[in-house]
Structure formats: C-alpha cells, structure tokens
Amino acid sequence: MTTQDIETLVDELTLEEQVSLLSGSGFWSLPGVERLNIGKLRVTDGPNGARGGGSLVGGVTAACFPAGIGIGATWDPDLAREIGGALADEVKSKNAHVSLAPTVNIHRSVTNGRNFECYSEDPELAAALAVGYIQGLQAKGVSATIKHFAGNESEIERTTISSEIDERSLREVYLRPFEDAVKKAGTWGVMSSYNKLNGTYAAENAWLLTKVLREDWGYDGIVMSDWFGSRTCAPTVNAGLDLEMPGPTRDRGQQLIDAVEAGEVSRETVRERALNMLRLMQRVGSLDDHRAFEERAEDRPEHRALIRRAGAEGAVLMKNEGVLPLDAPQKIAVIGPNAKVAQIMGGGSAQLNPHYRVSPWEGLVARVGEDRLTYAQGCTNHRWEPVMDKVTAAFFDNETLDGAPVHVEEMDSSVAFWIEGVGGGKVDPLHFSARVTGQYTPEQSGPHSFGLHAAGLARLFVDGQLVVDVWDGWTKGRTFFEEGCDEVTGLADLTAGRPVEVVMDFRTKPTDNLQFSAFRFGVSRPLGEAEIAEAARVASEADVALVFVGRSGEWDTEGSDLQDIALPGAQDALVSAVLAANPNTVVVLQTGGPVEMPWIADAPAVLQAWYPGQECGNAIGDVLFGEVEPGGRLPQTFPVRWADNPTRSQDPEVYPGLDGRVRYEEGVFIGYRHYDRQGTLPLFPFGHGLGYTTFEISNLRVMGEEVTVTVTNTGARAGASVVQVYVGDLEASVARPTRELKAFRKVRLEAGESADVTLTLSARDFAFYDVEAGGWRVEAGAFSVEVGFSAADLPLRCEVVREAESLAV
C-alpha cells in the first residue's frame, strides 16, 4: 500500500474508527477495523528478547540476548545490527509487529536500577549502537520503539517525578540517541517516558513530542505511551502522543470523541494521529495481517551462536596479571552465589522466559568435566528469598477468600504477575483473592527464612503458623514497579527431610498507577562465616579459583534503584577470603553496572561479564579459556566508591529527588566528563578493557574532517581493540567537558599486523548547543583531538583550529 493509499484510507475511516486506532484493545495489541479489513497490530517487549503477549513470568519461551549494557560494552554497532536482525526473527515468532526496544536512556548515576537495560553513560556511543540495533530490526519489517523519551534516568517515583533538565544538556546528552534514531536509523516508533520533563508529563509535552521530535528532527513515525503512562485525553493528543497503551483505553475512546465534539481536539489532529498509526501498520505489514494469533518458541542454532559470540564480545577484562587465559589446570575451584545460577538478564519488563540457561558451572562441566571441578557457594546474594517450585493457586471471585474457588491452576513457581485473564478469566482482575499452596522440604535442619512481597495484600503460613504478614499494615515499597511492598521475612525452624506446607493468602488492593496484581514468596537457609571458611578451604586445594559474584535481576531491575554499589550480602568477604587462600584467583563479576571493589589490589584477574543472555556459562568459559578475546570495553565509568559518581550530591533534589523533582544539576558533566572536571581518578575509566594481546597506536594525522591513526597488534595472537577519538574545546565561552567521545571503531588485527584506521569528525562534533540561538554552534578557535584506548589512555593528541559556524538542529 502506498503513502497515497493510506492518505485515502484514513479519510475512509469514521471519526470513531480513527479514534479506535489511538489506543490499545488489550495489553499488547491494537484493534483492527473490521469494516475496512484492517488487521490488528501487536507489540512485544523487549530489548534483550521477544517475550510475546504473556505475563512477565512464564509464557512461551524465547531467545535471551545480552542485556543492553553488555551490548554497550561491545562498542560494535555492526554487532548491534546483527542482534537487531535476530530479534526481528524473534518478534515474528511471537506473531508481533513491533518491538518495545531499544532502551537508550543515559547512565546518569551508578545506582539506576535500569542501567543494565541501557547502553552507556556516553550519548555518542549509545546513539551509534541504537542506530545499528534499529536498522537490524527494521530491515526485516519489525518496528523499533526507542525508549524512554525522555529524562528517565532513575526509577524512584518514576511514574510521577519531574526530571529538571536544561535544554543544552537535553540536546547534547539525553536526546542524542533519540536524534540519531530518527535521523540516521529512521525509527518507526518512539515511546514516551512516565516522568514529567521540566514539570510536564512526557506523554503530553508538546515541546518534546512536536517541537523537537517532529519539527526539528522531521520524525514521521508514531509516539506511544509507556504502559499506563498516558494520564489525560486532549493534552496528550494535542501534544503529539499518537497511541495510548495498554488497552482497554482509560483516556481516549468516547472521551476523545467528546473532546472533538467540544472543540478541545480538532478533527485534523485526530486524523494526523490516525494517519501516523496507519503508516506504522503499513510499514510492518499489519494492515493486511489476518493470521490467527499464535506464539512459537523457535530455538534457532544461529541465534544460539550469536548470543554466545555477543556475550564474549561484551565481556570486559578489567584486570589481568597473567592468570588469564586459563590453561588446563588439574583442579578448578568454582565458588560463589552466581556459579551455579545462570544470571542472564535484568528484571522488569525486559525479562522473559528463556529457551534455556547455561550457568557458569554447567559451562565449565561441559568444557573440562566435572571431575576436575570442586564447588562451594560461600554466601548468598539474593535480594528476595528464592522462590519455591510447583505451587497450586485457587482463585475466588471475591476479595475475602469466601466460598469455593472458581478456578484452580498449577504454577511453575511461587511468583506471579497477573495482568489479564486472571483465574482463567473467571475473576475481575482488579477484585479477587487467591490461595497459593506448596510444599517445601529442607535439606538441612535449623532456622529458615521465608520472604514475601506483593502488589496486593498477602499472608504466608508455614504448617498453619503465620510467619509473614503483608496484609495488615501493607506499605508501598520498591518492588513490582513501585506497586508492591518491600519484602518482609520471618523465620521458622525446620527439620531436614521433613516437608512443610506453605500457604499464601492474597487479595487485591487499589492500584497506584499500573493496573496489575503480583506476588513473590520463597525460602532459604541463611549462610554465615562457616560457609565462607569452607569456600576458602576449597579454593586453597585447587590450582585456580574462579569466584562468581555480583548481582541479579532482583537488584538490577526496572522500578527500583540500588541503595549503593557494594556487592550485596557477604560477597566482598567471600572474595577476600578466597583471594587470601589462592593467589591464582579470577573474580568474575555479573552486574548491571559499576560496583565497589575493596579487594581489587589483591585480585590478579577480574572479568566483568554483565548479563550475557542464555549462553551465559558458555560465553564466560570461552573468554576464561582464551578461545575468544574478551571483546568488551567499559561503557560506563567504574568509580572507586559510590560517593565519587556525578549524582552523589548533598542535595537530595539532585538525586534521588525531593518533593517530586530530580534536578540534573551536573548538566553535561556526566560520566567520565565529571571525573575529568573533578580531577577524581576512577577505579576503571570509561572505555577501559584489556585483551589477550597488546596494541599500540601511532602516527596521528588530521586532514579536514578525517582523523587517521596507525594501529599495531604487538602481541602474539589475534585480537581486537577500540580506537576512541575525543574532542575538547580549548577556548570555549561556555562550560564544556575537557574531552568528549566523538568517534570510535572496533579494530581486529592478526598478531604483528598494522593498519591505518580513519574516522570522521563533522562540524557538529566540535559544536555545543546554543540555547539562545536555538541551534548548534562551533566557536572559532583551537580544539584538542585525542586518540587512544580509553578516556584515561589517550597517547596521541593534536590541536586543530576551526572557524565559527552555526548549524541547524
């Protein structure tokens, strides 16, 4: 169908039909128009896979790719393009047309719960990766939905807080990935953020959605709300929000028709919004898609291989004093809470039900055999007590658990996220109760900790005794997207081998903003000093010790910022004990962002593996044994301590926010720009990463807009490095960073090989955004051009002189 055809089609729609296209019909779908044979449009989360139309828990399995920060660490837009293409296949397997991805908000702080889902602290790196990812998706006819537009850099009061950001910082930092997504990648979808931007909700911010997005950048795609992120009718439609999600509508439908009749919204505006929706449906082929809805689990060998390769490409070798790569030692001690658990993804809307998970232990067993491995957990690192397997839920069509249940179903685990079709569709999803029953058999005798949190009211009983109560005195916390309470725990003495009955009673409560019900309960035996001592003993008897520590999707999750960046629980004590017991220790970190490392001076090798997707253990093993290079470079600065990062101000309005406002006081000085300005040395700088060979860079030449250097692999094996070009304005009339990343390229060379690498700098790369002039401005004078391998390793430098120049937006 041509553009002219949709221009004709939109005028064939009645006002009611046009309005129907501007809000969802269900949680993941839009209505078609049966009269004109227009098919339905379907969407799916998310950035590291296609979950499909089910709940956040369970459902049809899907391929799980590396988390956003792992893709960011690859510094490889071509690989991001490959991943985007594979994810397009995944979206199609879930019978969807639109992927709610990528997430490109900037790593403003080190404690943002959603850092794992985003690419970088640097806007140019994030922009380049977003362009590749979107191009890969849309080349196969699947729409991207770049998010969250804009100013969603923390998860505290995220649905209501106002991000106070000056226009220059917005243009130079926080809008940059979105700008390139529009101008270079031609994204078909943009998702508005929950938060307010400078006092106005993003979903009804005309400056953001119309002035910047459509007028300045020439965007012709659709803008959809985040789920329940549209709060008004006429203001959102007039501001430029095309689509309210999810359905059924809260703010449109008859309300919008009435607003048109009352003159609050023009018919032309509704027509424009409907035309945008038809254009999207045309692009993704849903106009003529009348297939029966079916979701498939397609576990493709090529996707397995890509995920494994991408996991290794994002792994950052932070430190190595000759321990890595591993040879074939006689005995390997495998230690830590992340050793036998595959931490493959963060939490929240990015999570999915993977085809499989390969833990580090399983990857090592497959590689060297179990007889050469010993194991000790040492400590725990869970935020919430581990869930129970196989429970039964009985649903009641009242909120008091009265009468006989109207539906009973088996559940794989003791966690649920109920959205629609609750209780087999036999209860009102906003007004029901449930009793969930399971059995737990302890392996050891002694006190066990039971934990429970819920978006709803709940109580937990063990063999009939009340152990946890979040029914009376329920208090809003940081779980389930800020709709749930914090976990409450209680102890019960259990006997090894003797099963106990665990019963949780649940009832709905009025929601705050997001309409769903959820719970999670679990149990574990607390560990202590004895288990750490045992881990040290196991390490002392091995040739090499591998310590797998970090966080999980319980900590790195949408809806909840971190309280600090220390490793949770007793992990620092565990690492120190193992390092003292075995000098050949490798610390393997899995986190969604920086952590403090008080033991770093004693650690001979540290590998940051992030959340690398379903091939986790295999990808990590490939790097540890040197079968592939650790290809990653840090996309975010690691500070020595939490207090060093840009948002650790004495003023709580700067972070985490105060009285409904979070003020971006640091302006453009985020990430490495902040550390340069303050003269603070980081633990590991932006762009840092080691390999198993060495590189030298020489012979800097700048001719016009081209920067050329010679890169030489001076080591004994093939490898890769990232050439990074930074620009600084030496005579600026406004406060500018000492240096800003403006170009980069991943270079692969054989041992002893040299190559000239040329990168391009445009006039825009020397400019700042002049708010008064309303455009980009290059000031006449001298600029530094620095080239090297990280923001703190820039051996080549020259100065260039630029003429004054004004550039359009």
Residue 515 pLDDT class (50, 70, 90 cuts):
confident
Q: pLDDT digits over 345-398, tens only? A: 999 999 999 999 999 999 999 999 999 999 999 999 999 999 999 999 999 999
Whether 679 is in a domain gets the answer no
Q: Which residues pair with 585 in a beta bridge?
A: 545
Whether 80 is in a domain gets the answer yes
Lowest mean pLDDT among 14-28, 232-246, 643-657, 742-756: 643-657
Q: For 11, phi and psi rounded to 5 degrees?
A: -80, -15
CATH at 64? 3.20.20.300
pLDDT number for residue 1: 66
pLDDT number for residue 508: 96
CATH at 511? 2.60.120.260
Structure tokens at 789: 């391998």
- Domain check: are 360 and 429 in the same one? no
Structural domain range at position 369: 313-380+528-628
More confident residue, 550 or 418: 550
Structure tokens at 217: 């950048």
- Domain check: are 19 and 114 in the same one? yes
**Averaged over 136-144, what is the pLDDT?**
98
Question: Considering 606, 628, 650, which residue would you say is the last residue of a domain?
Answer: 628
Q: pLDDT digits over 77-127, tens only? A: 999 999 999 999 999 999 999 999 999 999 999 999 999 999 999 999 999
Q: What distance in Å separates the CA atoms of residue 529 and residue 534, rounded to the nearest whole number?
A: 9
Residue 420 pLDDT class (50, 70, 90 cuts):
confident
What pTM was computed for the model? 0.94
pLDDT number for residue 513: 79
- Domain check: are 541 and 508 in the same one? no
Could you tell me what percent of the chain has a pLDDT over 90?
95
Q: Is 202 a residue whose pLDDT tops 90? A: yes
Residue 212 pLDDT class (50, 70, 90 cuts):
very high
- Domain check: are 470 and 490 in the same one? yes
CA of residue 514 relative to chain centroid, distance: 20
CB-based contact 686:121 (threshold 8 Å): yes
Q: Which residues pair with 389 in a beta bridge?
A: 413
Whether 647 is in a domain gets the answer no
Burial grade of 349 (CB within 10 A; 0-12, 13-18, 19 or more): buried
Q: Give the total number of structural domains in the chain.
A: 4
- Domain check: are 373 and 421 in the same one? no
Whether 174 is in a domain gets the answer yes
Could you tell me what percent of the chain has a pLDDT over 70?
100
Structure tokens at 562: 């971190």
Lowest mean pLDDT among 273-277, 326-330, 620-624, 637-641: 326-330
CATH at 790? 2.60.40.10
- Domain check: are 543 and 409 in the same one? no
Catalytic residue among 45, 76, 226, 729: 226
- Domain check: are 276 and 344 in the same one? no
Question: Considering 493, 524, 555, which residue would you say is the last residue of a domain?
Answer: 524
Whether 30 is in a domain gets the answer yes
Question: Considering 490, 524, 558, which residue would you say is the last residue of a domain?
Answer: 524
- Domain check: are 411 and 476 in the same one? yes
Whether 300 is in a domain gets the answer no
Residue 359 CB: number of other CB atoms within 10 A?
Answer: 21
Give which of 546, 535, 539 is closest to 361, Cα–Cα. Answer: 546
- Domain check: are 277 and 323 in the same one? no
**Mean per-residue pLDDT of the chain:** 96
Q: Is 58 a residue whose pLDDT tops 90? A: no
- Domain check: are 410 and 347 in the same one? no
266 φψ region: left (φ > 0), alpha (ψ -120 to 50), beta (else): beta
CATH at 557? 3.40.50.1700
Whether 226 sits among the annotated catalytic residues: the reply is yes
CA of residue 505 relative to chain centroid, distance: 33
Give which of 587, 573, 577, 576 is closest to 544, Cα–Cα. Answer: 587
- Domain check: are 617 and 549 in the same one? yes
CA dihedral defined by 234, 239, 244, 250, rounded to 10 degrees? -20
Q: pLDDT digits over 618-636, tens only? A: 999 999 999 999 999 999 9
- Domain check: are 119 and 206 in the same one? yes
**Averaged over 587-610, what is the pLDDT?**
98
Residue 514 pLDDT class (50, 70, 90 cuts):
confident
Whether 32 is in a domain gets the answer yes
Whether 569 is in a domain gets the answer yes
